[in-house]
Structure 1
Amino acid sequence: MTALTLDDKLVVAISSRALFDFEEENRVFEHGDDRAYVQLQRERLDIPAPPGVAFSLVRKLLAFNHAEHQRVEVVLLSRNDPVSGMRVFRSCQAHGLASVQRGVFTQGRDPFRYLRPLGAHLFLSANETDVRSALHLGFPAARVLTESVQAGDAHPREVRIAFDGDAVLFSDEAERVYQSEGLAAFQRHESAKAAQPLPEGPFKPLLAA
């Protein structure tokens, strides 16, 4: 049997709170009662978690997959414990995301260290610190705001993503000039380098994938 590989796929790592709405459970955790949190997740093992803010995006990305060619792999990468991980996978099954079968649950430890072994092209998380750490390591990453309104279904067959230019697709060198030296210096900088391609930004690897 040939070993499964992620080498030819777009690999999206996502936290459980970004994919599903675990805000009620998270409030129990944030009150400092780890045992109560795990017990609550255990009691709700057979209750699918509601879709979270990034659920629609994940579902649309997985729609690129076909029996003959699997283009996208979604991997759960979470600070959650294994019991919570069981509920996450059961929620995936219940909501039609059965192809999400890989996951790393670190039980509170830093999850971003697994991005390189996974070959992740994008990391989505509700944890701002983890997102910043991933960006520092050179991985495209974005914070999912769990209080945001979920995306509508007006375009169910389309993935629409808007990228900023400075400091996202391209480097922030021009922005740094503007912030440190002002508008006139920024304009001189841009005029002097008008014929030079902009250096890569942190999200360039995602588009290249």
Structure 2
Amino acid sequence: MPTAFGDKLVIAISSRALFDLSDSHTVFERDGLEAFAEYQRQHEEDILEPGEAFPLVKKLLALNAEKTRVEVILLSRNSADTGLRVFNSIEHYELGITRAAFCGGESPYRYVSAFGCHLFLSTHAEDVRQALDAGVAAATLMLAGSRRGDDGELRFAFDGDAVLFSDESERIYKQEGLEAFAENEKSKAKTPLSGGPFKNFLKALQSLQADFPDGDCPIRTALVTARSAPAHERVIRTLRQWGIRLDESLFLGGLDKGEFLRSYSADVFFDDQQSHCHSASQHVATGHVPHGVANEPKE
């Protein structure tokens, strides 16, 4: 990580995740790049409406009230010229975002590692896949059916297999069924799972939590998994071996996750399976993690 950021949590966000750019994107798809650029210049003084990631980014930046703990980087396929509208909107909403990469139509994923980011959020699925391939936690934000109110607390929720953990156990489930999966997890209960794409982000979050006084931390984390007993033990022992503590753990045994995420009041939930993401997005902001066996092309 760049030394200038020290031990800050560094989040990269695409312009279309931060703001609602649907109007200009429609122009781009219908009329091409030149028409898009002209549209942005004509409307550069028009303030953009918040996008899917806006409430999350606002809460993250609020953690900097006493000291700078979080750095948010804007990564955009716009050029600097067409991106002026985005920066005008950042200034309007008084968001503390000062660093950006405008890539003139190219994918900005290659700057995720250069900035030392712990997490990349985008609405462009291919950019997300490339960031994951580069070893950075990343997710494609989906349109949410509702948004959580702003009570000052920041709540993250994570699926287990193929997100926090590797997909090694999920592969057994997909290939051999639930009974073989359960037997494997029982026999390997004391063997820690390998880390998944969001392990390092969760560790960075825990470090951020530790920077607040005991009993006064505005960040909560939760595991929301389809696992149930006896497959729970391996998860608990893995997290213990990693030295990671989650505030809440929900072992749902295949129950729909949406209502539980609403009850937990997640600001964002990360899952590798599209079906779970669609269900969750009716209740909370949701990021699809295109990683693991569930996202491999079917033969």
- TM-score under structure 2 normalisation? 0.65
Percent identity, aligned pairs only, is: 48
Q: Residue 83 of structure 1 aligns to a residue in which SS?
A: coil
Hey, what does 1:151 align to over in structure 2? 147
Mapped pair 1:181 → 2:176: yes
Hey, what does 1:125 align to over in structure 2? 122
Q: Which amino acid aligns with 1:33?
A: G
Aligned equivalents of 1:47, 1:181: Cα separation in 2: 55
- Cα deviation, residue 150, structure 1: 5.3
1:16-63 deviation digits (Å, cap 9, x = unpaired) = 000000001101111241111111110111111111111000000000
- Cα deviation, residue 148, structure 1: 2.7
- Cα deviation, residue 7, structure 1: 2.9
Superposition CA RMSD, Å: 1.6
Q: Which amino acid aligns with 1:104?
A: A
Q: What does 1:46-85 correspond to in 2, within 5 Å?
A: 46-67=45-66, 69-85=67-83
Q: Which amino acid aligns with 1:199?
A: S
Among 106, 109, 120, the alignment partner of 1:109 is 106
Equivalent pairs, count:
203
**Which protein has greater RCO, CA pairs closer than 8 Å, 6+ apart?**
1
- Cα deviation, residue 198, structure 1: 2.0
CA contact 2:8–2:71 (8 Å) conserved in 1: yes
CA contact 1:52–1:150 (8 Å) conserved in 2: no
CA contact 2:60–2:154 (8 Å) conserved in 1: yes
- Cα deviation, residue 163, structure 1: 0.5
1:87-120 deviation digits (Å, cap 9, x = unpaired) = 11110110121x1010001011121111111000
- Which stretches in structure 2 are left out of the alignment for 5+ residues? 205-299
Q: Residue 110 of structure 2 aligns to a residue in which SS?
A: helix
Aligned equivalents of 1:128, 1:65: Cα separation in 2: 30
CA contact 1:53–1:150 (8 Å) conserved in 2: no
Mapped pair 1:206 → 2:201: yes
The structure richer in strand per residue is 2
- TM-score under structure 1 normalisation? 0.92
- Which stretches in structure 1 are left out of the alignment for 5+ residues? none
Q: What does 1:133-148 correspond to in 2, within 5 Å?
A: 133-145=130-142, 147-148=143-144
